Amino acid sequence: MNKTITLANGNGGEENNELISQVFYKAFKNEILEKSEDAAIIHNGELAFSTDSFTVSPLFFAGADIGKLAVCGTCNDLAMMGAKPKYLTCSVIIEEGFEVVELERIVASMKIELEVNAAIVVSGDTKVVPKGSVDKIFINTTGIGEVLKKGISSNNITEEDVILVNRDIGAHGATIFAAREGMEMSSALKSDCNSLFPQVKALLDAGINITAMRDATRGGVSAVLNEWAKQSNICIEVEEEKIPVSDEVKGICEMLGFEATALANEGTFVLAVKREDAQRAVEILQNFEFCSSATVIGQVTQTHLKKVVLKSAWGTSRFLETPTGELLPRIC
């Protein structure tokens, strides 16, 4: 590792993993942490516990703002473990001079999203720092959820599972990039930022046999699939043309040379579901707003263990690697 922290150390990809394992895991090493799930499963498997900090710039963007993001981010990590989000903390670091009216807008967004999850904020902290010590506002939320279905884990994926996504990918990353660059995009491009618990609940209520779920945040779908291939010691083979990408996101990717699979999402998740339940899961997901493109994108095999293979429509294939470098700091 480098002697100083680089922006790439926060990319949700390779360098981020290196920082986590060589500094934090090394010091904090324990069985729960080493499972590397979206949320820690504690208290005899009954509770899920997760934390996340939000530094997105700009604070307000098409489709959401830092407040909605701060509630969705933590609640989604709980939902990905089959848990119902229940109690959150809200901790803010505010820069001197920040407009109260903007703070109220952010908190109002948080309130709406808490209601979607039927969760409440039960503890918090407020710090104000001198101008220039922080850029406008940073928010941390920590959440506790009640596990509705035990045993969901990204360490247990097998060849009996197929790989799904709940909607088109890359919208959050593309939206933040367009906003940051001052690009005038069509009004159809907006962040996918959304609470995933309602979708998870519908799947659980229908008795869908879910092996694993993970929201494809920093590092995008590429990072999730690579983490899963390593954690479960499997090969994931994905059909490129099956991965849903909107025309707006495709446009940004073509213009700037990005891969949609490496772009961040905030309301898009990858699922590993037992093969016999896959079609039913797709149908349930497609009933949700923005999820009409929910689909199966890949299979689990033993071909190249710990690797993700991307197969093109022309019969060629290549490895899909964990993203490296830093595409876009302060995405979430």
The contacts of residue 302 (CB under 8 Å, 6+ apart) are: 159, 234, 235
Query: How is the beta sheet containing 295-301 ordered, strand by strand?
Result: 210-215, 269-274, 161-165, 295-301, 235-239, 308-311, 317-319
CA 126, distance to chain mean position in Å, is 26
Q: How far is the CB of 215 from Mg ion (least distance, A)?
A: 4
Instruction: List beta partners, residue 125.
Output: 91
Q: Which is nearer to Mg ion, 38 or 161 (by Cβ)? A: 38
Q: Which is nearer to Mg ion, 50 or 299 (by Cβ)? A: 50
Identity of residue 292:
S
Q: Which is nearer to Mg ion, 208 or 212 (by Cβ)? A: 212
Q: How far is the CB of 80 from Mg ion (least distance, A)?
A: 6
Q: Which is nearer to Mg ion, 77 or 248 (by Cβ)? A: 77
Query: Which residue ranges make up the site for Mg ion (CB under 5 A)?
Result: 38, 77, 215
d(CA 330, CA 222) in angstroms, rounded, equals: 19
Q: Which residue is nearest to Mg ion (CB)?
A: 38
Q: Which is nearer to Mg ion, 215 or 277 (by Cβ)? A: 215
DSSP per-residue letters across 115-137: HHHT-EEEEEEEEEE-TTSSSSE
Cα dihedral 245/193/300/309 (nearest 10): 50
SS3 315: coil
Q: Which is nearer to Mg ion, 215 or 237 (by Cβ)? A: 215
Q: How far is the CB of 273 from Mg ion (least distance, A)?
A: 18
Q: How far is the CB of 101 from Mg ion (least distance, A)?
A: 31
CA distances, 139 to each of 77, 198, 268 (Å):
16, 24, 21
Q: How far is the CB of 214 from Mg ion (least distance, A)?
A: 6
Q: Which is nearer to Mg ion, 227 or 248 (by Cβ)? A: 227
Q: How far is the CB of 18 from Mg ion (least distance, A)?
A: 18
Q: How far is the CB of 269 from Mg ion (least distance, A)?
A: 8
Burial of 121 (0-12, 13-18, 19+ CB in 10 A): middle
